[in-house]
Chain A
Amino acid sequence: MKEEKIIKQVSVFVENKPGRLAAVTEKLYEKGINIRAFTIAEAGDFGIIRMVVDKTDEAYKVLKDAGFTVSLTNVLGVEVKDEPGGLYSIAKTLADANINIEYVYAFTFGRDKALIILRVDDISKAIEVLEKENVLFKGKVE
């Protein structure tokens, strides 16, 4: 049941200029879509807004209809304690299994937890090793 453990990240292509992030988030706001985790990867004149939202399919559709270039990307969510060594244990687990992390971003939630969003080169192997550590995010992104 690996599918269930995969989180769909919404990736949006935007030019790096004033107002573009506002344009994207306005569309989500209008539909009452909540952003749970968020980062921007920039490369000079343009960038990619990456986010995990509560209503993924709806977010994809509203952005696509608004004319944005958007795609869904498979990522993993890992839940760790918000304390020293949290990320380290995950990174080490993946390193030992020779899995490369392409990018990662995180946010804290509740009082003492952090959710780490991971994009890796071998997602099914990553699920396997992280399952063993019992750290994969099990809840729903809501």
Chain B
Amino acid sequence: MIALLILLIPLLGGLVSFMIGDHKKWVGPVFLLAAGLQFLLVLLALTSWDQPELHRFSAAWMSDVGSSFSLSLDPLGKVLCLLNAVVYFLLALYLQGRSMQKPGAFYGWLLLAQAGMMGVFLATDGLLFYFCWELALIPMYFLSSIWGGPRRIAVTFKFFIYTFLGSILLLAGLIYLQSLTPEKSFALDAILKLNLTNTQQSWLLWLILPAFAIKLPLFPFHTWQPDAYEEAPTPVTLVLSAVMVKMGILGLLRWLLPILPVAAYQWGDVIMGLAVGGIVYASLIAWRQDDLKRLVAYSSIAHIGLMGAAAFAGNLGSLQGLCFQLFAHGINIMGMWFLVDLIERNLGTRKIADLGGLAQRSPGLTLFMVIIAFANIALPLTNGFVGEFLMFTGLLATKSNYYWVFTVVAGSGIILSAVYMLGMIRSVFFGEGPSQPLPPVKLSVQEQLVLLIVVGLIFVFGLFPQPLLDVTASYSDNLFKQIDISYLFKNF
């Protein structure tokens, strides 16, 4: 029941938001109310209502094609739903009182996107998964192409076509899988029972992987992303990078790896190679960006590259690290986007060359930036460290012959992240600044509150990561057993 409610609240909230679109006074509070309710519900689902029977829901839906409306809140879903709820709640708080064009439609689409993402996180039916995957994508198209920057039309179109192509392939793969099951069912459980041959697995891998690789995005499927992040309005970019990319990781963890473990192992070297290569590639490009949004976009590609590699490293350390990082990365990059948004709205530019010396007149903003940047660099005692540490541990322990190459190449991202992040801080915040001094960035109470919460989450989960790790411990253990290649080969 809870699973259904998690889906319904943003859906209804979105519809209400569309309907009251003319009453500009009300749309903000409605958004906050929906996001707040959602947040409360997810918190309750993780604590006092933590009973399996409450976390499942199933109803008839397109039964003639073997699809049902089945949702389940498993540990991975818990982490992602929590992230989704936290991000939307803080975003709603942050956006209160913001004036914009057609706010009703803006918040409406945002909430529909949340519903779609929740559906992706909860669905245990292939077709429903695909349906929600598209449902999350369409609002993003409208949000970017209506409220975006000057190049929005071309960029959004590219984004849409690119991800849509991936989705079509994904659908084809899912249909093929359904046709193989004896009962012609889209249910994840039925698909997992299939005994796929190595050749089938390989084919299916390359059908399904692009959808996830594009969404993440994984090098070299990433070129839509910096453009899309740059042109989308920053709140939308925030949702895209903090939550939506996690759909790709979820796709890998819940669908691709357990269904196609042998192919994932066979192609693991190639995929991990691309992923860790992408870390260095994206980090170097991030270093040479002159636009804050593009810099954060490329840094995000680098971070995601490590997460992709960790998924295919496929051992307990990497999986637990990845599950933790899903949450931590969302929080940190959210903080980053808040700061970019504050700079752009207050100073009218996000070109690094036009900025400088902000520390003199905006010490508060500087402090937040330094903390969030170091969380992105994964300094210990911030939440960024725990996930990366465990993922690296897993990467070195992976069963590939290139284990240490992957670790060292990916590890150079540790150095490069410091290069571009500190380089950015130096040019934007330190120094004398432009000859015409920039005005101070004044933080409103709610902006301070939101940033304080972000910083609080960074330190709390950095110092006490275990509660979150405990949530996914059993899940990672199961997944590890499902995909552990030495165990699988014993059964052949």
Q: Does A pair with B?
A: no
Could you list which residues of chain B lie within 8 angstroms of chain A, going by C-beta atoms?
A: none
Could you list which residues of chain A lie within 8 angstroms of chain B, going by C-beta atoms?
A: none
